[in-house]
Chain A
Amino acid sequence: MKILSTLYKEFLLLARDPGGMALIFIMPLALVVVMALVQDAPFRDYQEIKLEVLFVDADADSLSAKIKQAFAASPNVSLVMEKDSIVAKKRVQAGDFKAAIIIPQNTSAALRNKTRQLITTVFADFGLPAQADSTPLPGVDLKILFDPAIKANYKQSLSGAVEKIIANVQTAWVLDELQSQLGEGKPAPPKRDFKLTEIVRVSTQYASENKFQGLMLNSVQHNVPAWTMFAMFFILYPLAGNFIKEREEGSMLRLRLISGSQFPVIAGKFSFYFLVCLTQFVMMIAVGIFVMPWLGLSKLALGGDALNIFITACAVAMAATGYGVLIGVYFKTAQQALSFGSVSVVILSAIGGVWVPVYVMPEILQSLSRFSPMSWGLESFNDLFLRQASIGVILPNVLKLVAFALVTLLASVVIHKSRTVV
């Protein structure tokens, strides 16, 4: 009854505190939406962005035709024709384009000659009739110019794509040359079109259940659970603030004077803010599902079992509330508590992978992240949402969160009692 009374009292106090309500419910929603929007592009990693690349075709032959043909089918690169390579360089330098591909004059011819020379040399080595020409031929000098501000992985992708096209062309020409050399003096055999790309087919897919195929870590899948946890841990701001305010205003003194009220006061506050955390969770998940698509982002997919998601949310809520209670009990002034509390939440969130996923952090931070309750929570949510993990997989992290909550609560009760009564 005492716990319920405290819970109701906390409800009334919060309901009459518009600033606290905004901090608990409005700010986190704004935060999760803004962060998901801001991080959308980096998360998409240019996969869905169509980049325009200048194309200088001084060759005007089969190689440049193959490159144009390949990029015409690409959803990510669109070639913009430019005649002058100097102009192309200037435009890339100016940042108008992220890259320029320059195919010099006679590149196809040079490549073809090189290929022919290679085959004849091989034939000659095996004693087959061929006229090997040992005159060194000039190298094929194809250029790709990059804007210095381009992301490294995009640079790599574009170079890789061009190299792959050239390799394919060269392989085709090697085969052509082989056919031609072997058939010399005989009636020409029918020309075979080898589908090189079909020799070995590489298929990629995510190791998820069929119905969740295609579900991957994107801005929404990362930011919604991550910032939800951040908001849940930020409950310490109103919670610790309320604790200290009651102490400063004197109402806590009266409660200290009432026998048997210490546990109900802490338990009641804990229960109330635990429920607030769960409410935040539900609201932010709802934003992920219903609001994010409306903003042009992906819809949050809850891949896992609903009960497991609820268990994880409860464990995170317990840990967040326990931490808030401890901060409120331990610090003597609001300034100390709120400064320490908010900075510590930012640090825990940073090393916990809220701002950027843990796997992109330096090794030392990846090691530190193991000690952040937010990392335990986020890992569990990723396990559930993306990998459809079972309770057995998330259980270690859930238990860590619950243990964290129990330790912080126990410490709070001990500190509160030691400062309270004889």
Chain B
Amino acid sequence: MSIVVRLDHLTKQYLKAPRPAVSNMSFEIPEGAVFGLLGPNGAGKSTTVMMLCGLMRPDSGTVSVLGLDMQEHGAEVRKKIGVAPQEIALFPTLTAHENLVYFGRMYGLKKDEIKRQIEKYLSVFNLREKAHKQVGTFSGGMKKRLNLIAALLHQPRLVILDEPTAGVDVQSRNMILDFLTDLKAEGTSIIYSSHVLEEAERICTHLGIIDEGTVLQTGTRGHVMAQHPDCQNLEQLFLKLTGKNIRD
């Protein structure tokens, strides 16, 4: 199985920060995996995701995505990955359809392909009837679903999702998780950054638990759980590794 993401001794420290946000972090993600990037607040998840997407340059270490070094081939890599950021990265006064057409064109897709992809995903995410309504009028769940569609239009080989179910209702969350399971079945690799451990338990094949910028445990879900036989579930394992102190 080939490797889609390789982080090698990655370090990033923000200006005036007392310690690095990410410190000497290394892990690999095999193709076709759903990799749960888990950690408490301030663990370094967002910084890691930013470096994975090429939005931030590491102080040291390398990021390799789909076999290409991110620093050298960032533009090429971004054509092959889809990112659904935690915030709703859409234009609220455009309709769902207008948003998707615009992002499709910016991805460089052809008109027919955009049309086909939009129809497909609006149906999958049950947004067809709302296609011509302005996004600003959507509920939180609808916005999150549309946000996810915008990351998938160009059929990326790797999808990076940052808290894709934060603030959505149970139905929308269930729909998103079902979809991600299907997407994985089609062979797409997924990086899933979340706080919701039961979701990670449900869809992730691989886990990376991080805290204070370092990797505490990584590997397949079975392998990680097997390392801690005293933990009944992922939540117990997470608390065991990261502690019970409140993080703000």
Contacts and interface: CB of A to CB of B under 8 A. Distances in A.
Interface string A1-45: 110011011001100110000000000000000000000000000
Interface in A248-305: 249-261, 264-265
Contacts of A253: 55, 85, 87, 89
Contacts of B108: 2, 260
B140 to A, nearest CB: 14
B90 to A, nearest CB: 6
A179 B181 CA distance: 122
Interface stretch (B34-42, B76-84, B184-192, B216-224): B76-84
A422 B54 contact: yes
A254 B79 contact: no
Given A2-B105, A258-B107, A259-B76, A251 B55 contact: no
B90 A259 contact: no
A5 B102 contact: yes
A260 to B, nearest CB: 6
A113 interface: no
A325 B56 CA distance: 23
A246 interface: yes
A421 interface: yes
Interface in B73-131: 74-79, 83, 85, 87-94, 98, 101-103, 105-108
A420 interface: yes
Interface residues of B, number: 34
A54 B111 CA distance: 81
Contact of B75 (A12, A250, A260): A260
Contact of B89 (A17, A251, A421): A251
A253 B150 CA distance: 12
A261 B102 CA distance: 11
A420 B74 CA distance: 11
A2 B104 CA distance: 10
A9 B94 contact: yes
Given A5-B105, A9-B102, A253-B85, A421 B90 contact: no
A98 B57 CA distance: 74
Given A260-B75, A422-B74, A9 B85 contact: no
A12 B78 contact: no
Contact of B98 (A2, A9, A265): A9
**Among B54, B57, B151, residue most surrounded by chain A Cβ atoms (within 10 Å):** B54
B13 interface: no
Contacts of A249: 87-92
A9 B85 CA distance: 21
**Among B78, B85, B103, B106, residue most surrounded by chain A Cβ atoms (within 10 Å):** B106
Given A259-B79, A261-B106, A251 B90 contact: yes
Interface in A388-422: 420-422
A106 to B, nearest CB: 84
Contact of B93 (A17, A259, A261): A17
A254 B89 contact: yes
B188 to A, nearest CB: 17
Contacts of B87: 249-250, 253
B168 to A, nearest CB: 16
Nearest to B91: A251
B242 interface: no
A254 B94 contact: no
A420 B75 contact: no
A20 B106 CA distance: 25
Contacts of B209: none
Interface string B161-182: 0000000000000000000000
Contacts of B76: 259
Given A421-B54, A422-B70, A259 B75 contact: yes
B43 interface: no
B91 A246 contact: yes
Contacts of B93: 12-13, 16-17
Nearest to B70: A422
B93 to A, nearest CB: 5
Contacts of A6: 102, 106
Given A1-B105, A250-B88, A257 B98 contact: no
B58 to A, nearest CB: 9
A261 B103 CA distance: 10
A421 B92 CA distance: 24
**Among B91, B94, B101, B108, residue most surrounded by chain A Cβ atoms (within 10 Å):** B91
Contact of A422 (B55, B94, B101): B55
Interface in A232-253: 246, 249-253
Contact of B106 (A12, A13, A258): A258
Contacts of B94: 9, 12-13
Interface string B7-23: 00000000000000000
Contacts of A254: 83, 85, 89-90, 103, 150-151
B106 A5 contact: yes
Contacts of A2: 105-106, 108
Given A9-B91, A12-B94, A264-B106, 10 more contacts: A6-B102, A16-B93, A16-B134, A251-B90, A257-B53, A258-B107, A259-B75, A260-B75, A261-B106, A421-B55
Interface of B: 53-57, 70-71, 74-79, 83, 85, 87-94, 98, 101-103, 105-108, 134, 150-151
20 contacts: A2-B106, A5-B101, A5-B106, A6-B102, A9-B91, A9-B98, A12-B98, A16-B93, A249-B92, A250-B85, A250-B88, A252-B89, A253-B85, A256-B55, A257-B53, A257-B78, A259-B77, A259-B79, A421-B78, A422-B71
Interface of A: 1-2, 5-6, 8-9, 12-13, 16-17, 246, 249-261, 264-265, 420-422
